Amino acid sequence: MPQDVLARNNVKVFGRGTQPMVFAHGFGCDQNMWRLVTPAFEDDYRIVLFDYVGSGRSDLAAYDASRYSTLEGYAQDVIDVIHALDLRDVVLVAHSVSSMVAVLAANREPGRFERLVLIGPSPRYINDPPYVGGFERADIEGLLDMMDRNFIGWANFLAPAIMKNPDRPELGEELTSSFCSTDPVVARRFAEATFLSDNRTDLGKVGVPSLILQCSDDMVAPLEVGDYLHRELPGSTLRVMSATGHCPHMSHPEETIELIRDYLQPAAVA
């Protein structure tokens, strides 16, 4: 079973520390997106990278449409990887939708985690007054419909808008390429599980301390979402970044590293 999981999720382990630091990528991405951040932590942590089933170089034959119809299935991937490597005291760094996957995993097995680092998190993307998620339901349904009708067009439209930083078009091009490399059927299901999810009631159950990294101009997770999370997530620390866009680990890796280091400093590890 452990070897099956390690191959299934394309798990990579490296670093010279002992405490595990697991990085969970976002929708339409893979573990390669962490390449600008992980070198800063290799001396102090045991770095664990993986791809969700259906993403990157995971085993697509292991994809189960029912399991991955909700974020719970993705949380099970995280738990499976942690069990396969028998990890404890995990620092889980999660981007975008993986932030709520991290919340679900931490609620299932809190004893496995020491801290969560949530980059661009959102517990609900659809506005539900007075809650502000950033999108109307019709917006999300329109994006899902566009995925069905013109997947490449959808990727070319959405990726640069998510990335922002138009002065560096190569960032949006990389995200577009990543979106396009994902199986369209898998991506469509993952998008529905992501953008129609509502994890607001899961926040209050979290017993693991967390850092919320909120970008200052993010169409996917606006500032109101970061404020909401900070109010509802026990033991959370909110840091509003100078970075813009939804992928600061790619567009502003230095600031991302600095804030994570600053947060983890009190728990300095060997």
Catalytic residues: 96, 218, 246
Structure tokens of 122?
Answer: 């959102």
- Nearest-angstrom CA–CA distance, 111 and 201: 20
Burial of 240 (0-12, 13-18, 19+ CB in 10 A): middle
Pick the closest to residue 8 from 47, 72, 66, 60 (CA basis).
60
- β 20-24/46-49 pair status: parallel
CB atoms < 10 A from the CB of 19, how many?
Answer: 20
Pick the closest to residue 48 from 73, 76, 80 (CA basis).
80
CB 207 within 8 Å of CB 113: no
- Nearest-angstrom CA–CA distance, 14 and 127: 41
Q: In what order do the strands lie in the sheet with 90-95?
A: 12-14, 46-49, 20-24, 90-95, 113-119, 210-214, 236-240
